[in-house]
Structure 1
Amino acid sequence: MVSVPFPTHGTRSVTPAEQPPTPVKLVIAGGFGVGKTTTVASISEIRPLTTEAAITEVAAGVDDLTHTPGKTTTTVAMDFGRVTIDPTLKLYLFGTPGQDRFGFMWDDLVEGALASLVIVDTRRLDDCYAAVDYFEHRDVPFAVAVNAFDGEVEHDLEEVRWALDIAEHVPLIVFDARNTGSVRDALLAALQVAVDRAEAAAMP
């Protein structure tokens, strides 16, 4: 844990117990309709900021709605939420837009992020390559979370790891984007990758 000096106000010292939690930026990424907005909304302790726009007939011709026929809106900029994990750690969550045509925004959203959670829909693995490749090339620690739509996944996790060419050190888990506890565990898995990398780098 990073040691931070406690400021003083007049003659009164701020005790460790009063130290504010460390802010950490974490990105929620993935393809179109995989559950990024739902993930942020499920765990945010504040009302999430969303930039949803209606899916027009033109957009429907571009984005594949085969597996999400009830989806009527899409994120065009980002989702934002916040959750306090414990008294020492507060996560600021940034959800990326899923469509390729909004990909130019990813660099700005990822700037300063400690880690990322890449969400995968096993019914549309082809849509997930770009997100995995992006964080590998940017060298940002990440975990991959398979969203269990209707409580099921289409493929075994090892098949998913092979199909997406995910390195063995990258956590690959199943989670439910609608369940707060499940989302929390997925976020912690992503954070653990960042912690492990930092500890490895600190070793002599």
Structure 2
Amino acid sequence: MVSASSDGIADHSRYVSPTVAQSVKILVVGAFGVGKTTLIGSVSEIAPLRTEETMTVASVGVDSLAGLDGKTTTTVAMDFGRITVSPDVVLYLFGTPGQRRFWDLWEGLADGAVGALVLVDPRRIEDSFEVFDQLELRTGMPFAVAVNQFPGAPRYTADQLRDALDLLPDTPIVDCDARSRESSAATLITLVEHALRFPAKAYA
């Protein structure tokens, strides 16, 4: 089911401000259940587009729900949102599905993106290993890492995470709360600042 999530309140931000001179495409990636849909929903100034389906018995044994109590839906194509981060810059956010069987979609979604925000669940760090491999293999684009601090999750230092995830020294690692607009926006700004230090390139 494709739906534009809305609470019935009129959306007065559906049009981009006439002052906007630059639009930037960002991927939001991560393993299954790390909070990609939540982050885009929390920060988007428009009703986010979601392609979620209810999880069925067919996913039993395929999609692990360990540590994901209460999760009943999953993204099957993409999430989409928009945030204006300054009077002249707007970000378009494309969230990718986390499961391996949907990874072929990444190539199309990556086309034209300047960078990727990788969400990591500190309770399931090992689930992110293949995500980084996928990101580097299929896109090669710059990325920043956002550690979604779930309640009760273990806390790791940036150095511990850098070692565990085998990241380059200049890869930004930030903590975030995907439910918080302010936290999510700050994380995206960190990514954009990092990505803009790279030469302009169209990724695919």
Tell me the TM-score normalized by structure 2.
Answer: 0.85
The equivalent of 2:4 in structure 1 is none
Letter in 2 for 1:20: V
Letter in 2 for 1:134: Q
The equivalent of 1:190 in structure 2 is 191
Stretches of structure 1 that go unaligned for 5 or more consecutive residues are 1-16
Q: Give runs of aligned pairs for residues 157-172 of structure 1, distance below 5 A.
A: 157-172=158-173
Residues in 2 aligned to 1:181 and 1:41: alpha-carbon distance in whole angstroms: 12
C-alpha RMSD of the superposition: 1.9
Tell me the TM-score normalized by structure 1.
Answer: 0.85
1:118 equivalent to 2:118? Answer yes
Letter in 1 for 2:124: R
Residues in 2 aligned to 1:131 and 1:189: alpha-carbon distance in whole angstroms: 20
The equivalent of 2:148 in structure 1 is 147
User: 8 Å contact 1:23–1:91 — kept in the other structure?
Assistant: yes
Deviations 1:30-80 (A, max 9, x none): 000000000000000000000000011221321110110200000000000
User: 8 Å contact 1:135–1:141 — kept in the other structure?
Assistant: no
Letter in 2 for 1:36: K
Letter in 2 for 1:25: K
After superposition, the Cα gap between the structure-2 partners of 1:133 and 1:184, relative to the gap in structure 1 and judged at 3 Å, is same
After superposition, the Cα gap between the structure-2 partners of 1:88 and 1:128, relative to the gap in structure 1 and judged at 3 Å, is same
User: 8 Å contact 2:123–2:153 — kept in the other structure?
Assistant: no
Q: Which has the higher helix share?
A: 1
Residues in 2 aligned to 1:150 and 1:60: alpha-carbon distance in whole angstroms: 25
Shift, 1:143, TM fit: 0.1
User: 8 Å contact 2:20–2:90 — kept in the other structure?
Assistant: no
Residues in 1 aligned to 2:19 and 2:181: alpha-carbon distance in whole angstroms: 26
Shift, 1:120, TM fit: 0.3
Shift, 1:154, TM fit: 4.2
Identity of aligned residues (%): 45
